[in-house]
Amino acid sequence: MAESGELYIMFIESAKTWVVELENNLLDLEKFPRDKELLNNIFRIVHNIKGSSGNVGLTDISGFAHTLEDSLELMRQDKLFPDKQLISSLLTAVDLISEMVEAAAVKDSFDLSRCSLWVCSMDTLKVRSTAI
């Protein structure tokens, strides 16, 4: 169960800002898919979300961010290329994180099966990408 308190509130506020920044950076990456600095910034934001959510007991957000971070690491290693389909999938993941943060902000539940569906979709993209 997530903690309540100052750190929790700070995480919620920070996460909302990170989600906006993450979305904007992904849209920029779609325009500049070879921009490693941009990709590293995206990775850093997701890493912050992962660590900070874990620190306040939001393990669902942390776990999902970890999965997203793994996909971004493959991109950093040039094992996945940020084409339009991949960026679209990553934007969906950002939407899911945003909804999880909103649910956490009001102490509501979130349907984690939606995250599982995203993971399956991303696994398909990974297979497609390595087959090319």
Q: Residue 1: what pLDDT?
A: 43
Q: What is the pLDDT of residues 76-106, one digit of tens each?
A: 999 999 999 999 999 999 999 999 999 999 9
Do the beta carbons of residue 75 and residue 36 sit within 8 Å?
no
Residue 42 has which token pair? Answer: 């995206």
User: Is the confidence at residue 128, as pLDDT, over 80?
Assistant: no
Q: What is the pLDDT of residues 6-59, one digit of tens each?
A: 999 999 999 999 999 999 999 999 999 999 999 999 999 999 999 999 999 999
What are the residue boundaries of the structural domains of the chain, listed by start? 6-131
Task: Find out if CATH 1.20.120.160 is the number for domain 6-131.
Answer: yes
On whether the pTM is more than 0.85, the answer is yes
